Amino acid sequence: MEPRDVVVVGGSAGSLAPLRELAAALPPGLPGAVAVTIHVGERARSRLPWILERRGPLPAAHARTGEPLRPGRIYVAPPGCHLLMPAGVVELSNGPRMNSSRPAVDAMFASAARWFGDRVVAVVLSGLLDDGAAGAVLVERAGGLVVVQDPKEAAQPSMPQAAQAAARTAISLPGAELGRAVSGMLGEGGLVDWPHTEPRDTGEVSMEEGSDLRFLSHGETGLTRLACPDCGGALAEAVLPHITYYRCHVGHQFGPKSLAAAQAETAEAKLWAAVAALEETAALARHLGAHAEGSADPGGQPDGTVRWATDLAETFRARMQHPPETGAPAGPEPAGAADPLQA
The single residue of 39, 82, 249, 252 carrying the catalytic annotation is 39
Q: Is residue 248 part of a domain?
A: no
Residue 52 shares a structural domain with residue 158? yes
What gap in Å lies between CA 138 and CA 61, rounded to an integer? 26
Residue 66 shares a structural domain with residue 182? yes
Q: Is residue 198 part of a domain?
A: no
The predicted pLDDT at position 158 comes to 97
Beta strands in 201-294 (DSSP E): 220-227, 234-240, 243-248, 253-254
Residue 34 shares a structural domain with residue 181? yes
What gap in Å lies between CA 177 and CA 18, rounded to an integer? 9
Q: Is residue 218 part of a domain?
A: no
Q: Is residue 84 part of a domain?
A: yes
Last residue of a domain, one of 172, 193, 214: 193
The predicted pLDDT at position 202 comes to 47
DSSP character at residue 118? G
The predicted pLDDT at position 289 comes to 83
Q: Is residue 137 part of a domain?
A: yes
The predicted pLDDT at position 329 comes to 60
Question: What is the domain range of residue 154?
Answer: 6-193
**Per-residue model confidence as pLDDT tens for the chain (343 residues):** 789 999 999 999 999 999 999 999 999 999 999 999 999 988 888 999 999 999 999 999 999 999 999 999 999 999 999 999 999 999 999 999 999 999 999 999 999 999 999 999 999 999 999 999 999 999 999 999 999 999 999 999 999 999 999 999 999 999 999 999 999 999 988 877 787 777 765 444 443 444 555 556 667 878 899 999 999 998 999 988 889 999 888 889 999 999 999 999 998 889 999 999 999 999 998 888 887 765 555 555 578 889 999 999 899 888 888 776 655 565 666 555 555 454 3
Number of H helices, E strands in the chain: 9, 13
The predicted pLDDT at position 332 comes to 63
| Contacts (Cβ under 8 Å, ≥6 apart) of 281 | 305, 309
Count of domains forming the chain: 2
Residue 53 shares a structural domain with residue 166? yes
Residue 273 shares a structural domain with residue 163? no
Any idea what the CATH number is for the domain that residue 155 is in? 3.40.50.180
Q: Is residue 51 part of a domain?
A: yes
Residue 108 shares a structural domain with residue 28? yes
Q: Is residue 303 part of a domain?
A: yes
The answer to whether 83 touches 77, Cβ cutoff 8 Å, is yes
The single residue of 5, 106, 131, 339 carrying the catalytic annotation is 131
Residue 175 shares a structural domain with residue 271? no
Q: Is 39 a catalytic residue?
A: yes
What gap in Å lies between CA 138 and CA 94, rounded to an integer? 22
Last residue of a domain, one of 193, 215, 235: 193
The answer to whether 79 touches 233, Cβ cutoff 8 Å, is no
The answer to whether 111 touches 81, Cβ cutoff 8 Å, is no
Last residue of a domain, one of 152, 168, 193: 193
The answer to whether 76 touches 50, Cβ cutoff 8 Å, is no
What gap in Å lies between CA 298 and CA 301, rounded to an integer? 8
| Contacts (Cβ under 8 Å, ≥6 apart) of 136 | 109, 122, 124, 146, 148, 163, 166, 167, 170
The answer to whether 158 touches 257, Cβ cutoff 8 Å, is yes
Residue 186 shares a structural domain with residue 315? no
| Contacts (Cβ under 8 Å, ≥6 apart) of 167 | 133, 136, 137, 139, 140, 146, 242
Q: Is 193 a catalytic residue?
A: no
What gap in Å lies between CA 257 and CA 73, rounded to an integer? 33
Q: Is residue 107 part of a domain?
A: yes
What gap in Å lies between CA 189 and CA 294, rounded to an integer? 93
Residue 31 shares a structural domain with residue 144? yes
Residue 289 shares a structural domain with residue 182? no
Q: Is 93 a catalytic residue?
A: no
The answer to whether 37 touches 334, Cβ cutoff 8 Å, is no
> Shortest CA distance to 156 belongs to which of 334, 9, 12, 10?
12
Residue 183 shares a structural domain with residue 274? no
Q: 3-class DSSP state for residue 165?
A: helix
Q: Is the dihedral of CA 321, 322, 327, 330 positive or negative?
A: positive
Q: Please, is 342 exposed, middle or buried when counting C-beta atoms within 10 Å of its C-beta (0-12, 13-18, 19+)?
A: middle
The predicted pLDDT at position 341 comes to 52
